[in-house]
Amino acid sequence: MRFLILAATLFMGASTVAHAKTRLVDVDDEVVVHPFNLTVDAIEEMDVHDKGGNKIGEIEEVLGPTEHRATAVAVDLVDGSGLRDDDEDIIVPLDALVLKDDGTLFLNANAEAIKKYEVFSD
């Protein structure tokens, strides 16, 4: 009996976690992404670098809960980066990105954190 209760509790917990993810949509090209004061159109296709200055990917899409509010980006990782599987795009929250004065975009996360980012599938 205890096993059934435990199994039911675990199942209910797992389904709650699965539904906890926010549905993200593509943000309109004209929307200004406030942390960077640039439009979505200007940010898409920008290179993303690690803390050492190495290119690790490129912004594929700007994402948010609505078409008018950006909260994350989908980053297409460079093949052979060793951070994830070569064919995976990852969802990166905007607060993990830093735009330097020279226009270089950095991902402020270590390899362990990057491995925990959700996979983006369009």
| Domains of the chain and any CATH numbers | 23-120 (2.30.30.240)
Lowest-confidence segment of 3-7, 30-34, 42-46, 88-92 by average pLDDT: 3-7
Give the tens place of pLDDT for each residue, 44-100: 999 999 988 989 999 999 999 999 999 999 999 887 666 666 668 999 999 999 999
DSSP 97: E
Rounded to two decimals, what is the model's pTM? 0.78
Give CA–CA dist 67/93, Å, rounded. Answer: 16
User: Which pLDDT belongs to residue 10?
Assistant: 35
The burial of 92, by beta-carbon neighbours within 10 Å (0-12 exposed, 13-18 middle, 19 or more buried), is given as buried
DSSP state string for 49-71: E-TTS-EEEEEEEEEESBTTB--
